[in-house]
Amino acid sequence: MGSFLKRLINWFLVLVLCTNLASWAEAAGLGCNWGVQASHLLPPNIVVKMLKDNGFTKVKLFEAEPNVLKALGKSGIQVMIGIPNDFLAPLANSVDFAVHWVDRNVSTYISKFGVDVRYVAVGNEPFLKTYKDTYLQTTFPALKNVQAALIKAGLARQVKVTIPLNADVYQSDSGLPSGGDFRSDIHSLMVSIIKFLNDNNGPLTINIYPFLSLYADPNFPIDYAFFNGASNPIVDGSIFYTNVFEANYDTLIWALEKNGFPSTPIIVGEIGWPTDGDPNANVDYARRFNQALLNRINQGIGTPKRPNSPPDIYLFALIDEDRKSIQPGNFERHWGVFYFDGAIKYPLDLGNGRALVAAKGVEYFARQWCVMSPYASISDPNLAGSMTYACTYADCTSLGHGSSCGNLDAKSNASYAFNMFYQTADQQKGACVFSNLSVITKIDPSQDNCRFEIMIDIGKHELGRNNTSNSPSFPREHNLLLAFLFCWVFFVHLFLGA
């Protein structure tokens, strides 16, 4: 009897271990945000190939863009499809609208194209204070109607609902994580939403930006924004917090526990570091932050409140977007690990010694640039107006103070503005005519860290056609295989040796 009981206990332990390993293998892998607010989009088939080459197994989209979703079909990449805030009102007002949206943007891509949709993200940070309650009455009803539509479509087991929220939905009056609770103006709403998510096995998605803590407060300790701020820790009881990410995340955990949700699953929907548009938005800081973040993901590091259950994390972002709003700051267009064309900004170790892989097969316009004529004068009365015109219709955020092109002289400043307009206008004839101030050159005017762009020639690409091999991504399958092999070997060893 003793031997049988021992075998039974051992069998139970193996079962638990293997279940946990399988869960880890399924959750393991890199996630990222893929936005499409760009004047010259990298073709989706090239982006999907780049995702797979770099081991990204999960991607978060901000909208259901058809060419993007088709390219993700049968790729082995798990997808979170976002719903823009503008859709919240019609979704809230009509279940039929939600049914139609799910049928068109979820069911179709799963059944016809083999897209592995795992989540529908209802809205994007709808409770931001800057929105002044615009989406306060529509977000939760929209969430419930989308869930009802997924149930009707028979997809509720596979596809879960969530709402990506900004970290400003919770706060701490004491300044310590243990003082965490939801904002008083949305407290009851947040509790209702979390209960609904729990009842439907949906995770809570939160966006955390340590960069913005540094951007908003010039006295913020720089090291504390990264993952090694041991010189300026926050002491909360017996816990020492050495970085703002863990303190912020655990503030949320405290808020959840205080309101009766100690085990709500959490996704970090957005986290990253920009490379331009602000003195603290630079390549060195971005590499420092994102490398440490990747190390945490690969090592399965949690936080003091949840040390053994780290959240799924989606890096923000994959690619730069030159059409994003710069209302928050010029840095908004420079969050990508890659430039707009899939070129690598800085090296990263993705785990197991794997380095970043640039996009392949990208077609460009001719290697020529529009610059200020050597015969033009910076005192020309038309210069200021010409630069203003160029930067109104093209992205000049790299010219700002402390940015990558912030130290150019006056002529190079003008050249940068003229060239961005010329490239954004697809090098069209007449796009490099600025009151006789500009000429076209075949000599690259880039200087140091200041990159004078040449745009993607979209006309040379077959948009929407997926020419990549969409076999399942290797890293995820590899993790699952390793987990089950380990379990099998352990099982045989345990029972043959018993």
Same domain? 398 vs 325: no
**Is residue 410 a part of any domain in this protein?**
yes
**Is residue 470 a part of any domain in this protein?**
no
E-strand stretches of 107-151:
116-122
Q: Which amino acid is at 6?
A: K
Structure confidence at residue 2 (pLDDT): 55
Q: What is the mean pLDDT of residues 376-391?
A: 97
Residue 431 domain boundaries? 369-455
Q: Nearest to residue 167, comparing CAs of 210, 134, 222, 219?
A: 210
Q: How many domains does the chain have?
A: 2
Per-residue pLDDT band for 24 (boundaries 50, 70, 90) equals very low
Per-residue pLDDT band for 497 (boundaries 50, 70, 90) equals low
Long-range contacts of residues 328-332, Cβ cutoff 8 Å, at least 24 apart: 329/215, 329/277, 329/278, 330/276, 330/277, 330/278, 330/397, 330/400, 330/403, 331/211, 331/215, 331/274, 331/276, 331/277, 331/278, 331/281, 331/397, 332/274, 332/277
Residue that terminates a domain, selected from 422, 437, 455: 455
Same domain? 328 vs 379: no
Q: What is the mean pLDDT of residues 413-440?
A: 97
**Is residue 76 a part of any domain in this protein?**
yes
Pairwise CA distance, residues 124 & 137, whole Å = 15
Same domain? 327 vs 373: no
**Is residue 493 a part of any domain in this protein?**
no
**Is residue 465 a part of any domain in this protein?**
no
Catalytic residue among 63, 246, 270, 332: 270
Per-residue pLDDT band for 228 (boundaries 50, 70, 90) equals confident
Same domain? 37 vs 130: yes
Straight-line distance from the first to the last Cα atom of the chain, in angstroms, rounded to the nearest whole number: 14
Residue that terminates a domain, selected from 312, 333, 354: 333
**Is residue 472 a part of any domain in this protein?**
no
Structure confidence at residue 478 (pLDDT): 46
The pair of structure tokens assigned to 141 is 């009803």
Beta pairing partners, 119: 80, 160
Q: What is the CATH number of the domain that holds 423?
A: 1.20.58.1040
Per-residue pLDDT tens over the stretch 143-175: 999 999 999 999 999 999 999 999 999 999 999
Same domain? 317 vs 405: no
The torsion angles phi and psi of 188, rounded to 5 degrees, stand at -65, -35
In contact, 320 and 339? CB cutoff 8 Å = yes
Same domain? 312 vs 380: no
- 125 as an active site residue: the answer is yes
Q: Nearest to residue 376, comparing CAs of 341, 414, 319, 406?
A: 414
Same domain? 320 vs 448: no
Q: What is the CATH number of the domain that holds 97?
A: 3.20.20.80
Residue 498 has pLDDT above 50, yes or no: no
Same domain? 251 vs 392: no
Q: How many other C-beta atoms can be found within 10 angstroms of the C-beta atom of residue 181?
A: 18
Per-residue pLDDT tens over the stretch 31-44: 999 999 999 999 99
Per-residue pLDDT tens over the stretch 429-488: 999 999 999 999 999 999 999 999 999 999 887 544 444 444 444 444 444 444 445 455
Q: To which H or E segment does residue 2 belong?
A: helix 2-27
- 332 as an active site residue: the answer is no
Per-residue pLDDT tens over the stretch 313-348: 999 999 999 999 999 999 999 999 999 999 999 999
**Is residue 343 a part of any domain in this protein?**
no
Same domain? 198 vs 310: yes
Catalytic residue among 63, 65, 125, 453: 125
Largest distance between two CA atoms of the chain: 98
Residue that terminates a domain, selected from 305, 333, 361: 333
Structure confidence at residue 460 (pLDDT): 85
Q: What is the mean pLDDT of residues 135-141?
A: 98
The pair of structure tokens assigned to 128 is 């931001």
